[in-house]
Amino acid sequence: SNLYETILAEIVDDGRVGIITINRPEVLNALSTQVMDELADVLQELDADPRVKAIILTGSGKKAFAAGADIKEMRDQEFVTAYLGRLLSGYERATSECRTPIIAAVNGYALGGGCELAMMCDIILAGENAVFGQPETNLGVIPGMGGTQRLIRAVGKSRAMEMILSGAHFIDAEEAVSRGLASRVITGGPEKLIEAAIDLAKQIARLSGPVVAMAKEAVNSANDLGLSEGVKKENLFFSACFGLYDQKEGMSAFLEKRKARFENR
Ligand code: HXC
């Protein structure tokens, strides 16, 4: 439904792919509390819709995915309102508990909270003009939506420290891919970027929903669990796959040299 004011939500590919667009191009899609609340709501709504098998998150306009948390809104916050009000910190669950894969299509600036939001997604596709950075220290704060934890995992300690401590030395699309922060650079402008994201989403969407969800949860476990615990969790999910109709269908289809028809069960 589109009761949202700061985001656009649409569904394509016969209901299988959701596209969420942060829609405040006049402020480079700055992430106000309203944006983040609406984002959390729409993610929950799409994740609860059994038809939706993949979600794309992008920013409107040609310049930005999101240029950070909304500085205008943040300026007058105090410690108590930020801490007890959980300023911009309640959104971990919206992305990590979302079982549907989320693809970030990053066109232009992904700075501060924008970079952090992109890193909360499962896959980042970078437009050729993508710029990733954590400039918070310039404003007298530190990253507050997971940047100190996720950037180090994505680009390593030295590069993450350089970016976060200096508030400068941003990462372009090519470097993002070479370091593993993004999976691919998509050239040809924002339309091509969205096309590529939809293609990827459609590829995921034709697979078994529960299998993809278990794969996502298993991969994400690598951030929280040690190797042997993570491998155990993987093995449990792997074993669980054999309880699915879709496993029988997938393997039968291969052996019968036909296309699998997954039923999400
Ligand atoms: C509010 C913002 C904004 C932001 C841009 N705008 N970023 N408003 N919050 N994060 C507004 C500008 O004020 C301006 O409004 C309009 O968007 C266009 O931006 P310009 O600066 O004129 O564009 P340009 O010169 O092209 O520069 C682009 C830019 C710059 C380099 C991305 O906008 C910039 O540095 N933005 C701030 C980046 C940043 O520091 N992000 C981190 C925020 S802190 P007007 O009204 O003048 O047209 C953060 C904390 C996360 O994210 C932790 C959360 C808990």
- Is the C-beta atom of 234 inside 6 A of ligand 1? no
The structure tokens 């309102």 sit at 81
* Structure-token pair, residue 234: 């993987």
50 Cβ partners below 8 Å, 6+ apart?
209, 264
**Which is catalytic among the residues 69, 110, 130, 182?**
69
Q: What is the pTM of this model?
A: 0.97
Under the phi-then-psi rule, with left for phi > 0, alpha for psi from -120 to 50, and beta for the rest, what region is 56? beta
DSSP 153: H
CB 114 within 8 A of CB 65: yes
CB 169 within 8 A of CB 162: yes
d(CA 188, CA 93): 34
Q: Is 136 a catalytic residue?
A: yes
Residue 68 Cα to ligand 1 midpoint, Å, equals 7
**Which is catalytic among the residues 113, 133, 146, 209?**
113
Provide the residue-wise pLDDT of the chain in tens; the chain has 265 residues: 568 999 999 999 999 999 999 999 999 999 999 999 999 999 999 999 999 999 999 999 999 999 999 999 999 999 999 999 889 887 888 888 899 999 999 999 999 999 999 999 999 999 999 999 999 999 999 999 999 999 999 999 999 999 999 999 999 999 999 999 999 999 999 999 999 999 999 999 999 999 999 999 999 999 999 999 999 999 999 999 999 999 999 999 999 999 999 999 9
d(CA 16, CA 250): 19
